[in-house]
Amino acid sequence: MSTEVDMKDVELNEVEQEKQPMTAGDAGNGDASSPTSTEKNGAVKVKMADETETKFTGLSKDELLKVAGTPAWVRTRWALLILFWLGWFGMLAGAIGIIIQAPRCKPLPEMNWWNQGALYEIGDVQAFSENLDGLKQKIDALAQLKVKGLLVGPIHKSTNDVNELDLNTVSVAGSLTQFEALLDAAHKKSINVVLDLTPNYLGEQPWFDDMMTVANKLKVALVHWQKLKVDGFKFSGIERVIAVQPAVWEELRAQVQNGTDEKKGVLIGVTEKSSPEEVGALLNSSGVDLLLSGVLRASGRSGIQVAGAAEQLLGAQNQTKLAWNVGERKQGHLASLVGGELVKLNQMLLLTMPGTPVFNYGDEIGLEDQVANKFPQMIWDKPEDAETLNGTAKEELDERVALRSYFKSLSELRSKERSLLHGDFVALHSSNSSLAYLRSWDQSQRYVAAFNWGPDAVTLSLAHDQLPAQATVEVSTDPEQLAPKSPVDLKALVLGANQAVLLQFPYTG
């Protein structure tokens, strides 16, 4: 047994003091009979460690090498290595399987800026905004409509004498300086400007009789405007030029479409032809980027004719070259041609058909032609106007505001949804007074557009292997009857008189 003193329990008697009996003097209260106390102060026990702590130093290098070489560790390492590679190859095989099984994305068609949204025609700048400077001030308002291009003019000098024709100057509604400022303002808002250079836009023969003289003047003018960075040109009456002087037209076409080294220009042709057969033939022979025709105007309110024309023209894969309009510079405004009650319906038709929609200025607010005047003054409403108007004037203002908002929502939807931009067209239903079709693209949302031109309500039973049982209302001409985001039964779609609706449903694979 060790002779060292066991320090585990030590009573500190050195510091322990016995409590002494308290006397009266100690108590300080003069009470001599106070009891004395024999109670001791508490003892403190201290527990001391009897072993020295040992620091863990681990295995040495030689010891580690010796252990690592044992059969058990060798087998363990091999097992872990095999598991790692099996897991890695398993994940790789899974990823490859997902890629193989996933549906392939359909390649996007070649699209140009004129295929990506609506075009807005301003055939009379003075009626629209007094002059070119006023038009520049309206660029922000036009950008809100999500239009991709402006068709401006003609603004050049035109007379009955071809020798006095001047295609290089601005003689209507402003100056060349104002036009350049307009171009700059529009480009900053990503809006392109197409100039109407139809030589004889005031006469019966848009290209005069002396086409060679006209062609020579046009060649010079095209270079002039292209240097100013005009984004393209529009010509009316192209069928006569192609028929009479095909070589002349080919030269002009190449000059426009080749453009400058910096940018290629768009060539827009306008024809009075209205049958799908004639329009299809001209589309192929003219080589234009966009062809505007009277097909929709000729179809009137017949869903059968609209569906037939679309299917026939689209059958030649001409979707990116087709342009649709109802209102037009020479023909007049949409509201005057179809009636105020059908403005919304026709706006939806133009903005959901395959191809490029073209609107006459004011079509977004239902502007109507005046007597013998196809260029009425544009109406620019201000928010403060609503506070000072009442009665009929207030109702008309509210109607214009509502129409513009409706147009904007459809135009914005078309500019961002692939099914509406370049999707396939499938006719679902057509009759003399009603029409429905499907727009779909690859794995994007699908859209069904349905129209009723008739004076009575109709019930459409839409059936197709791509259609679900129900769809959701996206936009309606009558939101009280068909409220946005509400579900509808595609087997029993009820449309009121002069009503149209755009429905959407998701791609399900």
**Each residue of 306-351: pLDDT tens digit?**
999 988 888 756 888 999 999 999 899 999 999 999 999 999 999 9
Same-domain check for residues 455 and 495: yes
Tokens of 282: 């001209």
Mean pLDDT value across residues 496-505: 97
Prior bond of 21 cis (ω within 30°): no
Q: What does the pLDDT read at residue 495? A: 97
**Boundary residue ending a domain (395, 422, 449):** 422
**Model confidence pLDDT, tens digit, residues 202-226:** 888 899 999 999 999 999 999 999 9
pLDDT at 375 over 70: yes
Q: Does 432 lie in the same domain as 359?
A: no
324 shares a domain with 187: yes
Q: Give the pairing type, strands 119-122 and 149-152.
A: parallel
Residue 141, pLDDT above cutoff 80:
yes
Name the residue with tokens 């370049």.
422
Indicate if 382 and 446 belong to the same structural domain. no
Q: What is the mean pLDDT of residues 56-67?
A: 73
Banded model confidence at residue 253, pLDDT cuts 50, 70, 90: very high
Q: Are 230 and 153 in contact (CB under 8 A)?
A: no
354 and 481 together in one domain: no
**CA distance linking residue 192 with residue 221, whole number of Å:** 19
Residue-level pLDDT at 383? 74
Out of 48-57, 106-115, 301-310, 464-473, least confident range: 48-57
Q: Are residues 312 and 289 in the same domain?
A: yes
Query: Contact 232/262 with Cβ under 8 angstroms?
Result: no
CATH number, position 231: 3.20.20.80
Q: What percent of the chain is predicted at pLDDT more than 70?
A: 87
Containing structural domain, residue 481: 427-505
Terminal Cα-to-Cα distance of the chain (whole angstroms): 89
pLDDT at position 304 over 50:
yes
pLDDT for residue 16: 46
More confident residue, 41 or 310: 310
Helix (H) or strand (E) holding 448: strand 446-452
Q: How confident is the model at residue 8 (pLDDT cuts 50, 70, 90)?
A: very low
Are residue 309 and residue 201 in the same domain, yes or no? yes
Q: Do 401 and 462 share a structural domain?
A: no
Same domain, 415 and 465: no
Question: What is the radius of gyration, based on Cα positions, of the chain?
Answer: 42
Average pLDDT, the chain: 87
- Look at residue 375 and tell me if it is in a domain: yes
Q: Is the pLDDT of residue 96 over 90?
A: no
What is the pairing mode between strands 470-476 and 499-505?
antiparallel
Residue 36 lies in a domain: no
pLDDT at 292 over 50: yes
Out of 405, 422, 439, pick the residue that ends a domain.
422
pLDDT in tens, 488-499: 999 999 999 999
Last residue of a domain, one of 422, 452, 481: 422
- Asked whether residue 155 is domain-assigned, the answer is yes
Please indicate, yes or no, whether residues 406 and 457 belong to a single structural domain of this protein.
Answer: no
| Residue 52 within any structural domain of the chain | no
Is there a domain that residue 96 lies in? no
436 phi/psi in degrees, rounded to 5: -150, 140
Would residue 80 count as lying in a domain? no
The domain tally of the chain equals 2
CATH number at residue 465: 2.60.40.1180
User: Is 356 a residue whose pLDDT tops 60?
Assistant: yes
Is 31 a member of any domain? no
**pLDDT above 70 for 46:** no
Say whether both 414 and 380 belong to one domain.
yes
Among 50-54, 353-357, 428-432, where is mean pLDDT lowest? 50-54
Predicted confidence band at 13 (pLDDT cuts at 50, 70, 90)? very low
**Contact criterion met (CB below 8 Å) for 182 and 149:** no
> Residues 324, 350: contact at Cβ < 8 Å?
yes
Judge if 436 and 405 occupy the same domain.
Answer: no
In a domain? residue 3: no
pLDDT score at 62: 77
Amino acid identity at 419: S
